[in-house]
């Protein structure tokens, strides 16, 4: 007997037929003797409809009212899931966030979970009742409904799993796991059976849309083993078991130590539409970077890669960084207006970059993985504009039009292609 | 300064434009210096959509889950109304039933309000904040969301008005008041400026769909003065004031004593598709009627008019009653199967009756009002099949095809036609 949290996203509960199919997965776990808590998102499209209504009601809106409106979507799905399970003879009931309660801070629209009282859930689970909980929401210290921001249902699932000491948290979605690369770009991409929290976090941050980065952070901190699998799999099929059997459907995201055969590289990610901006001859002294990026942060412009070289003479240096293409004009004009905060000889840049990243915990112990990357790109005649690295990741910025070519070349070069296995 | 509850039904908040229009009425009251609580229904059609989803999820469903699902509709409207008011510069916030809290019993789907804690609402109102409250719902002693059943938002409004000692409860709807008869049947029907609780209760029970009977009962018991007026009136127009000025828009439903010029008859109502059933030669002894109507109640068949005459010989009597046409077959077969509970010579009946009622508190003090009714019908050659009376109402059952003719004739006969005023 295990205790399992199952999370179904919007496309998995898009309509009544989908909800019934998702319920089949729950029935399987219950019939296998497990205690099950279910986290649901709103039916696909409903959250957008509600957001649209809110926007049409007034140009400016109270985030507290926005939350009360938008949170209604999950309430509907949770009730429908309870009914669908009861129809299959399973004891089940729905809980809105405030009924658990899932406590959050007061930051409406982007609240953080501060605590979950597991008492009621534990009682119900021990009596073999399936608890269905609205994802994406909680209740503030003032008793008002809060939402966690887009994709928050993954975080709800992980937080509930931690609160009730679940053995596993299964994230059901419309893809069947985490891949070595985006299969639309790399047809030979393989599904990973296992991936470490650290790798998943890099992949999530870099645009693999399978899991929200925040939920992976919480899972890593709370040691919640995550499984990513498809709602559209045969519900009768084997599951990602606590015994970590190979060949099971889906991907298990877990502690690095649990993964026996680590690969040097787990995945190649791609983020397009990155614009680069270079400030030439900035004074190389403490506080300058803070002024430059402070000016951008004040305008809510998200900066991604940042590169600053050691200056030749210790006086002047160049700073280069990337922003989303859509923010490029705003970033340039913000920097031009911020002339009193720092000085530089010129501000220049261009749109149309692509960031390619190679991710793998194997980088920690194996030298030469970054060098392989540069060699693979050189062989295809692809020029590298920027390089940044972290402990388990190497990223480069290249010209947008080489993006897919680069990802496929690296995928082959690191031996990730499906045919190679 | 008065304290006012304003209730907007589904057609009054059907979309964003309607919600903005409803907000204009609230703005007017606030600008006139009043403290305002607003009760909202779900956007027209949304409750039906949610009920439909629930039905499609499973043939049988848990009423507690049904309530959690369906109650989401009002939550959305309340938030949108708060945003629309804030956009007009008005301080406003939404409350779900459980946030007030509006306490109910455990009868999910048809709960009764057992209490409303006015503390939070009173504090907000005294600080001139508009409180927008979800109609139709509350929270059970077990902390689960309940709904009051269809039309329950009127009851919510009246109960909130009683709890906060409101000076008036305005029910905004898609008609501009209570009429002497259904204007689709009687083009000369007039809007009533005033109507007593008792009369309104009879009219609501008899099919005038302006107010739900339950809400009028509560208003009468709690002495809450109700006004019925149209959302589609010019929001800038005068209101039904606490000073009961004549000529104001809408209809004020209030205590009989408040109405200075009482009319003998306030309205004529019509309910079609009534079937009559006659049991011949039933034993005239105690308990027989209880068995007959007990058998029907066990099958949830609602019986309307009941007539039993004194028997000639003290031994055998006839009982006649009406049921909705749609229940006729079921009622006949139920009575035939219940042969062991009572004996009678025959069970017969027919569909296609119409019940016409004349309502007016004036009947208490004026003789001959019922006689006028019979004379008016006789002049048109309309045969009366059944007669029942209450203190302020006389009802007859006639053949369906004479229904509209009868209503128009009575409307003229009692001097209610618009041209007569």
Given phi > 0 = left and psi -120 to 50 = alpha, else beta, which region is B354? beta
Task: Flag if A87 and B57 touch (Cβ within 8 Å).
Answer: yes
Cβ–Cβ under 8 Å, residues A325 and A276: no
The pLDDT of residue A247: 42
Q: Are strands A251-254 and A306-308 parallel, antiparallel or unpaired?
A: unpaired
- Cα B89 from chain centroid? 35
Residue A416, classified by CB atoms within 10 Å of its CB into exposed (0-12), middle (13-18) or buried (19+), is: buried
* Contact: A16, B57; criterion CB under 8 Å: yes
Calpha distance A98→B143 (Å, rounded): 10
Closest CA relative to residue B124, chosen from B35, B22, B25: B35
pLDDT exceeds cutoff 50 at B160:
yes
pLDDT at B237: 63
Least Cα separation, residue B174 to chain A (angstroms): 21
Q: Sheet holding B102-104: strands in order across? A: B113-116, B102-104, B137-139, B145-147
Q: Do A83 and B98 touch (CB under 8 A)?
A: no
Computed on alpha carbons and rounded to an integer, the radius of gyration of chain A in Å comes to 23
Q: Where are the alpha helices (DSSP H) in B152-235?
A: 152-163, 197-205, 213-222
* pLDDT tens for chain A, residues 1 to 421: 899 999 999 999 999 999 999 999 999 999 999 999 999 999 999 999 999 999 999 988 899 999 999 999 999 999 999 999 999 999 999 999 999 999 999 999 999 999 999 999 999 999 999 999 999 999 999 999 999 976 799 999 999 999 999 999 999 988 888 999 988 899 999 999 899 999 998 888 766 677 888 899 999 999 999 999 988 877 766 554 444 444 457 899 998 888 877 778 999 999 889 999 999 988 877 888 888 999 998 888 889 899 887 777 778 888 999 999 999 999 999 999 987 888 888 999 999 999 999 999 888 877 788 888 999 999 999 999 999 888 889 999 999 999 999 999 999 999 999 875 4
List the one residue out of B76, B94, B97 whose CA is nearest residue B143: B97
Residues of A in contact with B145 (CB under 8 A): 96
Between CA B14 and CA B41 the distance in angstroms is: 9
pLDDT one-digit tens code per residue, B72-118: 999 999 999 999 999 999 999 999 999 999 999 999 999 999 999 99
Long-range contacts of B29-33 (CB under 8 A, 24+ apart): B29/B4, B29/B239, B30/B90, B30/B128, B30/B130, B32/B239, B33/B1
Interface residue A66 vs chain B (CB under 8 A): yes
B180 vs B245, more confident: B180
By Cβ distance, the residue of B53, B79, B144 closest to A68 is B79
**Residue B212: which pLDDT band, with cuts at 50, 70 and 90?**
confident
Nearest CA-CA partner of B171 in B330, B41, B364, B325: B41
Residue where the block lists tokens 């409860």: B169
A256 CB-near residues (< 8 Å, 6+ apart): A196, A197, A198, A262, A361
User: Which of B19, B76, B98 lies nearest to residue A72, judging by beta carbons?
Assistant: B76
Interval B17-53: pLDDT, tens = 999 999 999 999 999 999 999 999 999 999 999 999 9
CA distance A137 to A58: 23
Q: Write down the pLDDT at residue B233.
A: 79
Query: Residue B11 pLDDT more than 80?
Result: yes
**How far is B47 from B136, CA to CA, in rounded Å?**
11
A83 CB within 8 Å of a chain B CB: yes
Q: Do A86 and B58 touch (CB under 8 A)?
A: yes
Interchain contact B58–A (C-beta under 8 A): yes
Best probe of the A interface among B14, B50, B57, by most A CBs < 10 A, is B57
Give A87's contacts in chain B (Cβ within 8 Å): 57-61
CA nearest to B393, candidates B206, B184, B183: B206
Least confident of A195-199, B243-247, B291-295: B243-247
Burial of residue B286 (CB within 10 Å: 0-12, 13-18, 19+) is: exposed
Mean pLDDT confidence for B335-364: 89
3-state secondary structure of B342: coil
Chain A CB contacts of B143 under 8 Å are: 99
**Residue A170 to residue A161: CA distance in whole angstroms:** 10
- C-alpha to C-alpha distance for B84 and B96, rounded to whole angstroms: 17
Cross-chain Cβ contact B82/A76 below 8 Å: no
CA separation for the pair A239, A155 (Å, rounded): 22
A58: DSSP letter: -
Asked if A80's CB is within 8 angstroms of B54's CB, the reply is yes
Work out the average pLDDT over B260-278: 87
Among A316, A285, A169, which residue's Cα sits nearest to residue A229? Answer: A169
Element holding A349 (H helix, E strand)? strand A346-359
CB contact under 8 A, A69 and B80: yes
Length of chain B: 421
Please say if the pLDDT value at position B241 is more than 80. Answer: no
At A231, list the tokens.
């709602």
* Å between B140 CA and nearest CA of chain A: 12
- CB-nearest partner of B57 from A56, A61, A84: A84
pLDDT of residue A242: 43
More confident call, A246 vs B16: B16
Burial (CB count within 10 angstroms: exposed 0-12, middle 13-18, buried 19+), residue A271:
buried
Distance CA A334, CA A336 (A): 5
Mind listing the pLDDT tens digit for each residue in B132-153? 999 999 999 999 999 997 679 9
Q: How far is B9 from chain A (nearest CA, A)?
A: 18
Question: Alpha-carbon distance B286 to A322, whole Å?
Answer: 92
DSSP state of A384: P
pTM of the predicted structure, to 2 decimals? 0.83
Residues B82-107: b if buried by 16+ CB within 10 A, e if exposed: bbbbbbeebebbbbbbbbbbbbbeee
Domains of chain B: 3-256 (3.40.1160.10), 267-420 (3.30.2130.10)
Q: CA of B50: which chain A residue's CA is closest?
A: A76
pLDDT confidence bin for B332, thresholds 50/70/90: very high
Max CA-CA distance within chain B? Answer: 76
Q: How many CA atoms lie within 13 A of B32 on its CB side?
A: 18
Angle between helices A16-31 and B46-57 (to 10 degrees): 40
CB contact at 8 A, B152 and B158: no
d(CA A162, CA B128) in angstroms, rounded, equals: 43
If pLDDT is split at 50, 70 and 90, which confidence band does B242 have?
Answer: very low
**Residue partners of A398: CB distance under 8 A and separation at least 6:** A353, A354, A356, A377, A382, A383, A384, A385, A406
Reduce the DSSP state of residue A151 to 3 states and report it: coil
Residues of chain B neighbouring A82 (CB-CB closer than 8 A): 62, 65
ipTM exceeds 0.90, yes or no: no
Q: Is the dihedral of CA B294, B298, B300, B301 positive or negative?
A: negative
Q: Do B19 and A57 touch (CB under 8 A)?
A: yes
Which pLDDT score is estimated for A237?
63
Q: Which residues are paired to A391 by β-bridges?
A: none
Given this model, what pLDDT does residue A259 score? 81
Half-sphere exposure of A301 (CA within 13 A, CB side): 27
Please report the DSSP string for B261-315 in residue order. S--S--EEEEEEEEEEEEEEEEE-STTHHHHHHHHHHHTTPPP--EEEPPPSSSS
CA angle, B305 as apex, B299 and B307 as ends, to 5°?
110
Output the CA angle A260-A264-A268, nearest 5 degrees.
120
DSSP code at position B15 = S
Residues with Cβ within 8 Å of residue B221, at least 6 apart in sequence: none
CA torsion, ordered B116, B119, B123, B128, to nearest 10 deg: 10
Angle, CA B81 vertex, CA B75 and CA B82 arms, to 5°: 90
> What is the per-residue pLDDT for A246?
40
By the 10 Å C-beta count (0-12 exposed, 13-18 middle, 19+ buried), A158 is classed as: buried
Tell the residue number behind the tokens 């008036």, with chain if given: B168
**Rounded Cα–Cα distance for residues A246 and A332 (Å):** 51
Side-chain-side CA neighbours of A51 within 13 Å: the count stands at: 10
């Amino acid at each position: 007997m295990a205790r399992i949290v199952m999370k179904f996203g919007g496309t998995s509960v898009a309509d009544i037929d989908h909800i019934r199919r998702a319920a089949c997965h729950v029935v399987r776990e219950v019939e296998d003797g497990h205690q099950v808590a279910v986290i649901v998102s709103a039916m696909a499209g409903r959250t957008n409809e509600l957001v649209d209504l809110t926007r049409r009601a007034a140009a400016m809106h109270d985030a507290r009212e926005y939350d009360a409106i938008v949170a209604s979507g999950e309430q509907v799905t949770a009730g429908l899931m309870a009914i669908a399970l009861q129809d299959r003879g399973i004891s089940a009931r729905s809980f809105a966030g405030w009924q658990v309660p899932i406590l959050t801070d007061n930051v409406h629209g982007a609240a953080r979970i501060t605590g979950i009282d597991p008492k009621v859930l534990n009682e119900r689970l021990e009596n073999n009742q399936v608890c269905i909980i609205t994802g994406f929401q909680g209740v503030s210290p003032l008793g008002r409904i809060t939402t966690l921001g887009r994709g928050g249902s993954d975080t709800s699932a992980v937080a509930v799993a931690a609160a009730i000491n679940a053995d596993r948290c299964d994230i059901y979605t419309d893809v069947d796991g985490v891949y070595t690369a985006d299969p639309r770009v790399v047809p030979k991409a393989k599904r990973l059976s296992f991936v470490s929290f650290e790798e998943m976090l890099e992949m999530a941050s870099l645009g693999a849309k399978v899991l929200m980065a925040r939920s992976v952070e919480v899972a890593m901190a709370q040691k919640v083993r995550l499984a990513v699998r498809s709602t559209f799999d045969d519900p009768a099929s084997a599951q990602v078991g606590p015994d970590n059997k190979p060949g099971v459907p889906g991907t298990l995201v877990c502690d690095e130590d649990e993964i026996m055969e680590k690969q040097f590289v787990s995945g190649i990610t791609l983020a397009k539409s990155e614009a680069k901006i270079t400030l030439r001859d900035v004074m190389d002294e403490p506080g300058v970077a803070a002024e430059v990026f402070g000016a951008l942060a004040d305008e809510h412009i998200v900066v991604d890669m940042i590169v600053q070289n050691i200056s030749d003479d210790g006086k002047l240096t160049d700073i280069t960084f990337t922003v989303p293409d859509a923010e490029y004009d705003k970033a340039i004009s913000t920097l031009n207006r911020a002339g009193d905060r720092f000085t530089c000889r010129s501000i220049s840049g261009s749109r149309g970059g692509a960031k390619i990243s190679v991710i793998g915990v194997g980088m920690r112990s194996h030298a030469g993985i970054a060098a392989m990357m540069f060699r693979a790109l050189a062989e295809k005649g692809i020029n590298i504009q920027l390089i940044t690295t972290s402990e388990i990741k190497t990223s480069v910025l290249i010209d947008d039009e080489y993006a897919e070519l680069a990802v496929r070349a690296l995928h082959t070069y690191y031996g990730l292609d499906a045919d190679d296995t």
